[in-house]
């Protein structure tokens, strides 16, 4: 995969380059400031862009804005946004144009190299990767007498992993159960929440997130 | 010139006359009060009756307070009062503060003057009435002109109120010293709050991130030792080390949010409050008046003010979502000349008990440290309104 990275901190930038290189990916370009990002993406057209939310010169949300701009100019460009902290509003903005090829993760997750690379590949192939912390925030809001309270602990875990954007195979791996039972749990969750059954992939993520956000 | 209807003229004259008449009544009370003061002074001079003085001064203050309220109501501007406390210390100290309080001297001057101008102005009004009825009766009734004499009664009442205000208003230096006391108290509060905040941050870092990093370093050291002879043990130690690193990061994020929420930097106050509203689980309308909706530096309040406003909204919305049973809430942020006003209102069940939780107390401390003010109204049945004023220069 060809990857473009935007990260202002030299340590983290070198770390990402090293990590992606060792995993067999090609780093097509590196940006250290906000204004560099969009031209670089337009020039390189990578398979996926990894962007830090905060970039110079303003150290605000330049990376996020660059991601949104890039997706407007290059529809379908997969972007994985990394941040030191997660904000649900930013997730909503990123997903506003569709969950197709969108990732939003805490920088901490890079440390879990295998999981990070899996998430990056998922985003690059049109999937979704949403940080567990955002999902936890969304889930905690749906408590208090709603249908969420009617889920079994296992179903809740399945819902959580679906909201993170995982597909049935990785959900089965994460929970150490068969794909068939994942399928059964998903059916139960959708029935209990009153959602129309949905195939796997980004449409399912959107349905789950739309449910949690309302 | 517009001709004022006769009925209005008469009503105004009646109101003014009532004010002047109560002033005259008060003059008579002042007469008695002067007698009382003389008695108290004599008793104090004879030492035995010294206890009478503070009590009499207290009555005098009550009387002056009545005139202050009456004057404030007539003029529509407050007449502040400033006295030394009379209920502290030994008898000697109380007698001394009663006798030396500039407030007592001011009240005595007013007492003597009120006796004279209260009665004089009332007599003038009594003369003006028959004369006014006669002249204005002819002037308005026959010549169809505006009344000339009866409206002068209002001027007399105004004069009475102005004299009272002038005599009863604390001297500028007294008012200034009061403001200095107030500022010293809030500044001490701010310094204490700042100190408490630093200690809280220090403790959070010490118990959280620092402890995790120490544990992380230990595990790495152990993994290094185990590396050669027991690779499986080394691997599980490395796993644990990574867990520790993640927990340290999570702790640091938590501490940073408590100091200054990063979203404020990114989005400005209005954007950050919108993010809070979106995450509250309630239907929240956010109204911003005279405030920039973005992170531009020029149009923003100081960081401490923005952070305080953010925590007020966060606390208000959390309470609304948790306790009030409301589904809707309103947040208003308003930039005024020298302050930022924050208002959070929910249509819930009301009856918020400030003593029950620490949330509103935290808001009060935080706001007081910035010399601001907090009002909470939450009658049973709702609505609950939390309103905060944060003074700041734009």
Residue B379 predicted with pLDDT over 60: yes
A52 touches chain B (CB under 8 A): no
- Element (DSSP H or E) covering residue B386: strand B384-391
H/E element, B314:
helix B303-319
The shortest CB-CB distance from B249 to any of A108, A137, A142 is to A108
* Omega before residue B349 within 30° of 0, cis: no
Is B266 a residue whose pLDDT tops 70?
yes
Same domain assignment for residues A119 and A190: no
Using a CB–CB cutoff of 8 Å, tell me whether A61 touches chain B.
Answer: yes
pLDDT score, position A45: 94
CA distance A103 to B363: 36
**Residue A90 shares a structural domain with residue A150:** no
The verdict on A124 and A29 lying in the same domain is: yes
How much is the pLDDT for B173?
Answer: 80
| Mean pLDDT lowest among A113-122, B355-364, B366-375 | B355-364
The interface residues of chain B toward chain A in range 266-285, judged by CB-CB distance below 8 A, are 266-267, 274-275, 278-279, 281
Are A108 and A36 contained in the same domain? Answer: yes
Domain boundary among A130, A165, A183: A130
A44 and A10 housed in the same domain: yes
The whole-number pLDDT of residue A199 equals: 66
Q: What is the pLDDT of residues A16-32, one digit of tens each?
A: 999 999 999 999 999 99
Q: Assess contact for B22 and B70: CB atoms under 8 A.
A: yes
Count the domains in chain A: 2
Mean of all residue pLDDT scores within chain A = 89
User: pTM for the complete prediction?
Assistant: 0.68
Same-domain status, A63 and A115: yes
pLDDT value at residue B133: 84
Are B266 and A54 inside 8 Å of each other by CB? yes
Domain-terminating residue out of A107, A130, A153: A130
CATH number of the domain enclosing A151:
1.10.10.10
The closest CB to that of B246, out of A84, A88, A111, belongs to A111
Closest chain A residue to B281 measured between Cα atoms? A141
Percentage of chain B beyond pLDDT 90 is 33
Chain mean position to CA A163: 10
Residue of chain A nearest B294, judged by CA positions: A60
* Cβ <8 Å between A141 and B242: no
Nearest chain B Cα to A134, which residue? B279
Out of A117-131, A154-168, B45-59, least confident range: B45-59
- Please give the residue that has the higher pLDDT: either B245 or B179: B245
Are A60 and B266 a contacting pair at CB < 8 A? yes
**Percent of chain B scored above 70 by pLDDT?**
98
Same domain membership, residue A47 and residue A122: yes
Domain at B262-391, CATH class: alpha beta
CB contact under 8 A, B279 and A111: no
Which residues of B fall within a CB distance of 8 Å from A112? 242
Q: ∠ CA B232-B235-B238 to the nearest 5 degrees? A: 155
User: Which residue among B246, B256, B279 places its CB closest to the CB of A108?
Assistant: B246
Which among A85, A106, A142 is the nearest to B262, CB-wise? A85
Q: Which residues contact B113 (CB under 8 A, 6 or more apart)?
A: B163, B167
Q: Is the pLDDT of residue B2 over 60?
A: no
- Collapsing DSSP to helix, strand or coil, B305 comes out as helix
Nearest chain B CA: its distance from A91 CA (Å):
11
B contacts of A141 (beta carbons < 8 Å): 279, 281
pLDDT at residue B325, rounded to an integer: 83
Look over chain B and give the mean of its residue pLDDT values, rounded to a whole number: 86
Going by their DSSP bridges, the two strands B339-346 and B328-335 should be labelled as antiparallel
**In which domain, by residue range, is A204 found?**
135-213
Chain B residue with minimal CA distance to A63? B266
pLDDT at B217 over 80: yes
Mean pLDDT of B191-219: 86
Q: Which of A102, A130, A158 is the last residue of a domain?
A: A130
Q: Where are the domains of chain B?
A: 6-170, 180-259, 262-391
Mutate to test the interface with A, among B281, B293, B297, B327 (most CBs of A within 10 A): B281
Residue A182: band (very low, low, confident or very high) from pLDDT cuts 50, 70, 90: very high
Dihedral in degrees, nearest 10, Cα atoms A148, A152, A153, A159: -50
List A residues 90-149 in contact with B (Cβ-Cβ < 8 A): 92, 106, 108, 111-112, 137, 141-142
Residues A98, A13 within the same domain: yes
Q: pLDDT of B288-297, one tens digit each?
A: 988 877 776 6
Q: A111, B262: Cβ pair inside 8 Å? A: no
Given a cut of 50, whether residue B1 has pLDDT beyond it is: no
- CATH at A122: 3.40.50.2300
Q: Among all chains, which residue has been given the structure tokens 């330049």?
A: A62
**Residue in A with minimal Cα distance to B282:** A214
| Domain co-membership, A168 together with A124 | no
Residues A71 and A166 in one domain: no
Using CA coordinates, name the residue in chain A closest to B283.
A214
pLDDT mean over A185-205: 81
Residue-wise DSSP of B240-302: HHHHHHHHHHHHHHHHHHHHS-HHHHHHHHHHHHHHHHHHSSSEEEEEEES--SS--STT---
Verify that A147 and A89 share a domain, yes or no.
no
């Amino acid at each position: 995969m060809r990857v473009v990275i935007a990260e202002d901190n030299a340590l983290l930038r070198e770390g990402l380059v090293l990590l992606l290189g060792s995993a067999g990916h090609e780093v097509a370009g590196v940006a250290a400031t906000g204004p560099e990002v969009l031209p670089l993406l337009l020039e390189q057209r990578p398979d996926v862009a990894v962007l830090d939310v905060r970039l110079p010169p303003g150290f605000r949300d330049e990376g996020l804005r660059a991601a949104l701009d890039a997706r407007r100019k290059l529809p379908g460009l997969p972007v994985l946004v990394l941040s030191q902290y997660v904000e649900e509003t930013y997730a909503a903005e990123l997903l506003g144009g569709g969950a197709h090829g969108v990732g939003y993760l805490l920088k901490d997750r890079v440390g879990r190299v295998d999981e990070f690379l899996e998430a990056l590949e998922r985003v690059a192939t049109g999937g979704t990767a949403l940080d567990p912390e955002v999902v936890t925030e969304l889930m905690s809001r749906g408590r208090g007498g709603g249908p969420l309270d009617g889920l079994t602990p296992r179903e809740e875990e399945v819902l959580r992993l679906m909201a993170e954007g995982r597909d049935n195979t990785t959900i089965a791996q994460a929970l150490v159960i068969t794909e068939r039972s994942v399928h059964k749990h998903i059916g139960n969750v959708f029935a209990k929440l009153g959602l129309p059954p949905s195939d796997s992939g980004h449409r399912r993520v959107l349905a789950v997130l739309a449910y949690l956000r309302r | 010139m517009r001709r004022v209807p006769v009925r209005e003229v008469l009503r105004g004259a009646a109101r003014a006359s009532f004010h002047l008449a109560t002033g005259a009544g008060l003059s008579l009370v002042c007469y008695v009060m002067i007698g009382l003061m003389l008695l108290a002074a004599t008793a104090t001079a004879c030492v035995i009756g010294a206890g009478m003085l503070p009590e009499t001064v207290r009555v005098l203050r009550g009387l002056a307070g009545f005139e202050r309220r009456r004057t404030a109501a007539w003029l529509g501007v407050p007449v502040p009062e400033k006295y030394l406390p009379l209920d502290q210390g030994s008898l000697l100290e109380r007698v001394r503060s009663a006798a030396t309080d500039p407030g007592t001297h001011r009240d005595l001057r007013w007492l003597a003057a009120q006796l004279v101008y209260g009665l004089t102005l009332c007599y003038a009004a009594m003369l003006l009435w028959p004369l006014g009825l006669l002249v204005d009766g002819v002037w308005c009734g026959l010549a169809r002109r505006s009344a000339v004499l009866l409206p002068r009664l209002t001027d007399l009442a105004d004069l009475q109120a102005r004299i009272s205000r002038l005599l009863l208003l604390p001297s500028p230096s007294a008012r200034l010293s009061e403001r200095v006391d107030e500022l010293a108290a809030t500044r001490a509060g701010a310094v204490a709050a700042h100190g408490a905040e630093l200690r809280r941050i220090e403790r959070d870092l010490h118990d959280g991130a620092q402890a995790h990093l120490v544990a992380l370093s230990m595990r790495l050291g152990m993994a290094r030792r185990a590396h050669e002879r027991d690779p499986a043990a080394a691997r599980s130690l490395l796993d644990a080390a990574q867990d520790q690193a993640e927990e340290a990061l999570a702790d640091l994020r938590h501490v940073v949010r408590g100091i200054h929420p990063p979203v404020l930097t990114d989005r400005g106050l209005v954007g950050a409050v919108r993010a809070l509203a979106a995450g509250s689980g309630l239907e929240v309308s956010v109204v911003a008046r005279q405030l920039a909706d973005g992170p531009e530096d020029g149009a923003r309040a100081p960081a401490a003010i923005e952070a305080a406003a953010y925590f007020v909204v966060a606390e208000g919305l959390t309470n609304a979502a948790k306790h009030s049973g409301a589904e809707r809430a309103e947040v208003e942020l308003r930039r005024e000349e020298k302050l930022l006003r924050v208002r959070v209102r929910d249509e819930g069940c009301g009856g918020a008990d400030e003593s029950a939780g620490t949330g509103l107390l935290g808001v009060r401390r935080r706001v007081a440290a910035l010399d601001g003010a907090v009002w909470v109204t939450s009658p049973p049945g709702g609505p609950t309104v939390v309103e905060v004023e944060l003074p700041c220069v734009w």
